[in-house]
């Protein structure tokens, strides 16, 4: 079915949105103001939304900008032709490379606002909504990324949007130049080394001038390790590899990772301020991919929490120490909680280099919420007391954090999230436990995509 539409909005999942009567129609690769012909394979009864494809661009809207990447978009009448015919299109790595950046920021702020209203039951005006923080660089910002190896071409690939069809990459305008060059070299080098990983993660440090890799393989026996050693020796700038072995295809690794060479990188904590220090990273350990935007996120979280020299801070889900050292530089003490593993090892090594601030941190290895609950049960003059808390949970959030913060008598808390839905759910629970949501801000960690980071200040009334 063909539908004539005017695109008037951006959906939270990344598509453009138009309307056919009462029905919302979602069309990828469209921008606000576009007049398009969309094609829908099926149209459900009633006024349920329709997911369509772009059949033709009638006229470009005010929100459309020329995308710089030859892999972006689809070949449709009215759209600019690819500068490199024959290259794979419809790449799923970006969604909004054709959308003006201010419109991206506005859409992300709206997504966050709606999640807080619908899921968190936090109406606009009940808290201060700060203007979203723009990324310092809307392009060439990623220092790490995941890929798949297309064995037929010997190239690293992303998947096409909502499919498992490979987009065999020749360029990616989200990657910092060093990482893009490493990506280009790795595909042929993997084939030459006789390695066929199920998944590949690459990381690059501009400070170190080098990179590292994580390879998911069916097994990592002695022969595979020798091939990985040859790989490290053959790729310029590749310092080390982490090998994770597991089943062919999906599923977690079934054995401890194997380290070949030195995959630990050091990044500037703040690319604009070398004096802010360095942070260790490894490609198999979570780390924010956008170093410039991450520096803004850390600064915003600390400004909201406002720790002083007399404050004890509880940091839950401390990871590889993204907030730990900055907190230790301002607070009397920090109790940092993270599950045991390489993330905790990296954070401990960073704090060992941090001078007097490193002595203010005590690490707890284990489940963050269980340890917080145990700390809340302690009694007596030596029981820990925390006026402040900072939480940076994974995407699934920190269900149950509200009652825990109440039991610990925390006065102020900052919650950092990469998922608006679980963020809103947990803020609602915190509010029910007596912590008022005072301020919220969106932070753009991933320009050209719909993903949005957020940070909130919670205050005990």
Distance, CA of 290 to CA of 142 (rounded, Å): 5
Nearest residue to 145 (alpha-carbon basis) of 283, 331, 344, 352? 283
DSSP state of 134: P
Nearest residue to 364 (alpha-carbon basis) of 417, 408, 324? 324
Distance, CA of 406 to CA of 20 (rounded, Å): 48
Structure tokens at 221: 């026996």
* Active site annotation includes 418: yes
Structure tokens at 354: 């941090």
Strands 388-391 and 412-417: parallel
Backbone angles phi, psi at 111, to 5 degrees: -60, -45
Total residue count of the chain as it appears in this document: 461
Distance, CA of 104 to CA of 116 (rounded, Å): 19
- Per DSSP, the three-state class of 426 is helix
CB-CB contact of 317 with 338 (8 Å): yes
Nearest residue to 180 (alpha-carbon basis) of 139, 220, 152, 208? 139
Distance, CA of 404 to CA of 394 (rounded, Å): 17
Q: Which residues contact 152 (CB under 8 A, 6 or more apart)?
A: none
SS (H, E, C) 180-194: HHHHHHHHHHHHHHC
Nearest residue to 314 (alpha-carbon basis) of 276, 269, 371? 371
CA 25 to chain centre: 28
Token pair 């102020």 is found at 412
Distance, CA of 390 to CA of 325 (rounded, Å): 13
Token pair 């995959």 is found at 263
Catalytic residue selected from 69, 172, 418, 430: 418
Distance, CA of 410 to CA of 452 (rounded, Å): 27
CB-CB contact of 313 with 390 (8 Å): yes
Distance, CA of 413 to CA of 457 (rounded, Å): 6
Q: What is the DSSP string of 59-125?
A: E--TTB-----TTSS---TTSPPPSSTTS--SBSS-S-TTB-HHHHHHHHHHHHHHHHHHTS---TT
Catalytic residue numbers?
Answer: 418
């Amino acid at each position: 079915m063909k539908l004539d539409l005017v695109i008037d909005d951006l959906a939270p999942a990344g598509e453009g949105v138009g309307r056919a009567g009462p029905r919302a129609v979602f069309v990828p690769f469209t921008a606000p103001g576009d007049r398009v012909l969309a094609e829908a394979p099926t149209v459900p009864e009633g006024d349920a939304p329709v997911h369509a494809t772009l059949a033709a661009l009638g006229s470009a809207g005010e929100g459309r900008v020329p995308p710089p990447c030859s892999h972006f978009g689809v070949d449709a009448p009215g759209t600019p032709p690819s500068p490199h015919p024959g290259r794979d299109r419809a790449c799923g790595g970006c969604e909004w490379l054709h959308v003006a950046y201010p419109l991206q920021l506005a859409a992300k702020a709206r997504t966050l606002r709606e999640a807080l209203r619908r899921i968190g039951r936090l109406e606009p005006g009940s808290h201060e909504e700060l203007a979203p923080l723009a990324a310092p660089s809307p392009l060439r910002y990623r220092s790490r990324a995941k890929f798949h190896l297309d064995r037929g071409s010997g190239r690293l690939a992303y998947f096409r949007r909502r499919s498992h069809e490979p987009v065999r990459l020749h360029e990616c305008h989200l990657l910092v130049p060093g990482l893009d060059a490493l990506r280009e070299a790795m595909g042929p080098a993997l084939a030459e080394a006789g390695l066929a990983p199920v998944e590949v993660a690459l990381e690059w440090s501009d400070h170190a001038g080098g990179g590292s890799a994580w390879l998911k393989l069916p097994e990592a026996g002695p022969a595979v390790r020798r091939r990985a050693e040859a790989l490290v020796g053959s790729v310029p700038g590749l310092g080390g590899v982490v090998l994770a072995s597991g089943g062919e295809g999906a599923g977690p690794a079934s054995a401890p990772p194997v380290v070949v060479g030195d995959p630990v990188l050091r990044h500037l904590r703040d690319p604009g301020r070398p004096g802010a220090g360095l942070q260790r990273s490894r490609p198999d350990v979570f780390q924010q991919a956008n170093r410039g935007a991450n520096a803004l996120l850390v600064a915003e979280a600390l400004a909201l929490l406002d720790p002083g020299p007399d404050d004890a801070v509880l940091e839950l889900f401390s990871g590889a120490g993204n907030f730990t050292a900055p907190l230790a530089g301002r607070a009397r003490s920090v109790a940092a909680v993270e599950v045991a593993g390489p993330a905790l090892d990296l954070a401990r090594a960073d704090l060992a280099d941090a001078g007097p601030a490193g002595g203010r941190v005590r690490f707890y290895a284990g489940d963050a919420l269980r340890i917080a609950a145990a700390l809340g049960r302690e009694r007596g003059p030596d029981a820990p007391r925390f006026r402040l808390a900072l939480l940076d949970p994974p995407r699934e959030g920190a269900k149950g954090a509200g009652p825990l913060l109440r039991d610990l008598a925390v006065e102020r808390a900052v919650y950092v999230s990469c998922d608006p839905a679980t963020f809103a759910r947990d803020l609602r629970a915190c509010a029910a436990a007596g912590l008022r949501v005072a301020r919220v801000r969106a932070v753009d960690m991933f320009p050209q995509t719909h993903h949005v980071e957020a940070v909130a200040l919670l205050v005990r009334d």
